[in-house]
C-alpha cells in the first residue's frame, strides 16, 4: 500500500475526513490525497517520494515557490528572537506602512491570522460603520467560513455539491443577499429595492473559488457606483488576488478604490497572516479607537510578518509581474493548444500568476457557467496529470497558481503530461 494511503487511513482516525481543510480530501475528484513532505521551488514531493510540478502553491501564498531562500532567511532570523509576543513589534509597522503605500485605497490596516478573520472582521466593521445589517455577496464567491458568508459559497462547499453550510442560523443567513456574479441588472434592482438597508457588497474581484471568473468592467463600475450612491461600502476580498495578479492587486487592474480590502495568502508569504484595511474614517471605528471589536493573540505574529515582508520585497522588484504574467499566460496557451489538438472542448485564462482551466469551450462569466463545464472530464484529467507528476488543485472549482520558480522546462514538461492526460479522457 502507498504511504499516502497509509497516512490517509491513519489521519481519518482522529481528524474528521482525515484533513484539516475540506478541499484537501479529494472529495470531488476521488482517490487518495497526497501527503507532502517537502517543497522546493516549483516542486513538491509526496510521502511516497514522488515529485510533482506544483500548480497549487499552498492555494496561492507561494508566489515565490516553495522555500524561497530570502523568505526562509527572514523567517530564521525572526525565529531566533522569539515566536510571539502578543505585543506590538517594529516589523508590523513596516508591513502596515508598506501595504498602505502599495494600495491607494488603504489608509490604515489591521493584521490578522487568516483570510476568514479578515473578511469576517471587515463585514463587522462595515455593519458597525453604516449601522446597517444586510450584506450582498455573489453566487460561487467564497469569503472564508464565517456564518454570514457560507451562503451559496464557492471553494470546498462546491466539491460536496452544497454551496451552503449547515449550522448557519437562518436569521444570520437572512441578512446575506446573494446575487449572480456579473449580473448588473440584478444588482441594480436589489439596490433600488433595499439599498438603504445594505451595509456592504463583498466580492472576489477576480473570483478564484469557483475556478477563475473575472468581473466585467460593467459589473465593477456598477458595484462602485451603487454602493457610493446608497451609502453602502464596497469590500474587495483580495485574499486570493492580493499581490497575486499584480502589485496593486485586482483593484489596481480595475482602476477603482474599494472602501475596504481583505488580504491574505501572498501577504503572509506562506505563513498564517492576513489583513483588512481601507479608508481612515471607516478604520477609526475599530477598537481601541471605536466601538467595533476585533482582536487576536497571534495577530501580527512576528514570524509571519517577516515572511510577508520578505515576500513583498521580492515581488516589488522591477519586472516581477511581467515575467510571472508571461509565464502564466504561456501555460494557459500551451494547455489550450494541447486540448485543441486533442479535440477536447476546453478554455483557459490567466491573470498575473493565477489561472483557470475549464472543460468547456467558452470562458465562464458566472457560477452557472462554471457548473456547466464537464466535471467528469476534469476529474479524469486531474488524476491523469497527477500520475504524470503534475499537481493541480483537486477540484474543478479552484483557480491554479504559477510561481516565480516555474521555468520554461516545467511548462514544457506540463505540456507533455497534458498531451498524455488528454489522450485518456
Ligand atoms: N480555501 C482554500 C481553497 N480556495 C482551501 C484551503 C485548504 O484546503 O488548505
**Residue 143 · residue 207 · CB < 8 Å:** no
Whole-number Å distance, alpha carbon 258 to ligand 1 midpoint, is 25
Helix (H) or strand (E) holding 45: strand 43-46
The span from the CA of 129 to the CA of 198, in Å, is 12
What's the 59 CA to ligand 1 centre distance in angstroms? 6
Is 410 catalytic? The answer is: no
The pLDDT of residue 163:
67
- Specify the pairing of strand 176-179 against strand 134-138: parallel
Q: Which of 142, 236, 358, 391 is catalytic?
A: 142
- Which CATH number does 3-67+318-422 carry? 3.90.1150.10
Q: What is the pLDDT of residue 160?
A: 62
CB 44 within 8 A of CB 390: no
192 Cα: distance to centroid of ligand 1 (angstroms): 35
Whole-angstrom Cα distance, residue 243 to residue 232?
A: 26
152 catalytic residue (yes or no): no
d(CA 181, CA 141): 8
The C-alpha atoms of residue 322 and residue 221 are separated, in whole angstroms, by 26
Same fold, 3-67+318-422 and 70-315: no
The answer to whether 265 is a known catalytic residue is yes
Q: Which residues form ligand 1's pocket by a CB distance below 6 Å? A: 21, 23-24, 59, 155, 209, 398
Say which residues have a Cβ less than 8 Å from residue 159's Cβ, sequence separation at least 6. 22, 23, 27, 28, 395, 397
Judged by phi (left if over 0) then psi (alpha if -120 to 50, else beta), residue 354 lies in beta
The pLDDT value given to residue 171: 87
Identify which of 16, 19, 20, 21 to mutate to test ligand 1's pocket (most ligand atoms within 8 A of the CB): 21
The model scores a pTM over 0.75: yes
CA 160 – CA 263 distance, rounded (Å):
26
Beta strands in 66-181 (DSSP E): 108-112, 134-138, 176-179
Phi-psi region for residue 195, left (φ > 0), alpha (ψ -120 to 50) or beta? alpha
- By DSSP bridging, strand 260-263 and strand 233-238 are parallel
Please report the sign of the dihedral spanned by the C-alpha atoms of residue 254, residue 257, residue 259, residue 263: positive
Torsional class of 215: left (φ above 0), alpha (ψ -120 to 50), beta (otherwise): beta
- Centre of ligand 1 to C-alpha 361, Å, is 27
Atom of ligand 1 nearest to the CA of 393: 3
* Closest atom, ligand 1, to C-alpha of 154: 4
Is residue 54 a contact partner of residue 22, using CB atoms and an 8 Å limit?
A: no
Q: Where are the alpha helices (DSSP H) in 111-265?
A: 115-130, 156-159, 170-173, 184-194, 217-230, 249-254
CATH topology of domain 70-315: 3.40.640
Atom of ligand 1 nearest to the CA of 142: 4
Rounded CA-CA distance 413/408 in Å is 9
Which of 237, 259, 369, 410 is catalytic? The answer is: 237
Instruction: Mention every residue, 6+ apart, whose C-beta is less than 8 A from residue 233.
Output: 126, 129, 130, 199, 200, 201, 227, 259, 260, 282
Name which residue sits closest to atom 1 of ligand 1, judged by CA. Answer: 155
Atom of ligand 1 nearest to the CA of 155: 4
Residue 27's nearest CA partner among 164, 161, 211 is 161
d(Cα 407, Cα 327) in Å, to the nearest integer? Answer: 8
Pairing of β 134-138 and β 198-203: parallel
Q: Which of 239, 235, 278, 234 is nearest to 58 (CA)?
A: 239
Q: Each residue's pLDDT tens digit in the chain (425 positions)?
A: 899 999 999 999 999 999 999 999 999 899 999 999 999 999 999 999 999 999 999 999 999 999 999 999 999 999 999 999 999 999 999 999 999 999 999 999 999 999 999 999 999 999 999 999 999 999 999 999 998 888 878 777 776 666 678 888 888 888 999 999 999 999 999 999 999 999 999 999 999 999 999 999 999 999 999 999 999 999 999 999 999 999 999 999 999 999 999 999 999 999 999 999 999 999 999 999 999 999 999 999 999 999 999 999 999 999 999 999 999 999 999 999 999 999 999 999 999 999 999 999 999 999 999 999 999 999 999 999 999 999 999 999 999 999 999 999 999 999 999 999 999 88
Give the domain ranges of the chain.
3-67+318-422, 70-315
Cis status of the peptide bond prior to 288, with omega within 30 of 0: yes
pLDDT at residue number 364:
97
Distance from the CA of 23 to the center of ligand 1, in angstroms? 6
Q: Which residues does 197 contact at the CB level (< 8 Å), separation at least 6?
A: 132, 133, 134
Amino acid at each position: 500500500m502507498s504511504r499516502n494511503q497509509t497516512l490517509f487511513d491513519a489521519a481519518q482516525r482522529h481528524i474528521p475526513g482525515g484533513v484539516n481543510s475540506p478541499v484537501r480530501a479529494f472529495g470531488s475528484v476521488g482517490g487518495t490525497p497526497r501527503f507532502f513532505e517537502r517543497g522546493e521551488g516549483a516542486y513538491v514531493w509526496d510521502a511516497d517520494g514522488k515529485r510533482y510540478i506544483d500548480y497549487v502553491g499552498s492555494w496561492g501564498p507561494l508566489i515565490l515557490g516553495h522555500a524561497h531562500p530570502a523568505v526562509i532567511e527572514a523567517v530564521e532570523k525572526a525565529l531566533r528572537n522569539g515566536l510571539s509576543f502578543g505585543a506590538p513589534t517594529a516589523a508590523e509597522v513596516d508591513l502596515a506602512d508598506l501595504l498602505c503605500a502599495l494600495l491607494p485605497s488603504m489608509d490604515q490596516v489591521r493584521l490578522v491570522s487568516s483570510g476568514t478573520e479578515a473578511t469576517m472582521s471587515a463585514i463587522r466593521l462595515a455593519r458597525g460603520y453604516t449601522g446597517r445589517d444586510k450584506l450582498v455577496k455573489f453566487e460561487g464567491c467564497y469569503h472564508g467560513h464565517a456564518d454570514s458568508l457560507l451562503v451559496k459559497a464557492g471553494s470546498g462547499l462546491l466539491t460536496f455539491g452544497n454551496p451552503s453550510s449547515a449550522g448557519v442560523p437562518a436569521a444570520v443567513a437572512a441578512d446575506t443577499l446573494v446575487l449572480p456574479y456579473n449580473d448588473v441588472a440584478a444588482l441594480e434592482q436589489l439596490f433600488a429595492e433595499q439599498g438603504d438597508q445594505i451595509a456592504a457588497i463583498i466580492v472576489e474581484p477576480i473570483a478564484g473559488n469557483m475556478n477563475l471568473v473575472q468581473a466585467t468592467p460593467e459589473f465593477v463600475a456598477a458595484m462602485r457606483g451603487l454602493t457610493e450612491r446608497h451609502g453602502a461600502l464596497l469590500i474587495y476580498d483580495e485574499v486570493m488576488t492580493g499581490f497575486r495578479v499584480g502589485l496593486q492587486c485586482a483593484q489596481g487592474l480595475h482602476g477603482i478604490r474599494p472602501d475596504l480590502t481583505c488580504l491574505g495568502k501572498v501577504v503572509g508569504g506562506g505563513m498564517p497572516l492576513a489583513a483588512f484595511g481601507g479608508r481612515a474614517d471607516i478604520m477609526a471605528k475599530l477598537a481601541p479607537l471605536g466601538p467595533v471589536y476585533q482582536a487576536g493573540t497571534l495577530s501580527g505574529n512576528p514570524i509571519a510578518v517577516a515572511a510577508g515582508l520578505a515576500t513583498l520585497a521580492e515581488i516589488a522588484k522591477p519586472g516581477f509581474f511581467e515575467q510571472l504574467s508571461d509565464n502564466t499566460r504561456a501555460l494557459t496557451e500551451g494547455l489550450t493548444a494541447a486540448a485543441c489538438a486533442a479535440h477536447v472542448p476546453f478554455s483557459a485564462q490567466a491573470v498575473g500568476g493565477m489561472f483557470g482551466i475549464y472543460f468547456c469551450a467558452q470562458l465562464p462569466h458566472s457560477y452557472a457557467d462554471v457548473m456547466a463545464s464537464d466535471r467528469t472530464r476534469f476529474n479524469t484529467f486531474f488524476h491523469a496529470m497527477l500520475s504524470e507528476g503534475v499537481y493541480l488543485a483537486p477540484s474543478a472549482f479552484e483557480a491554479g497558481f504559477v510561481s516565480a520558480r516555474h521555468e520554461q522546462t516545467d511548462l514544457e514538461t506540463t505540456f507533455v503530461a497534458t498531451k498524455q492526460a488528454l489522450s485518456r479522457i
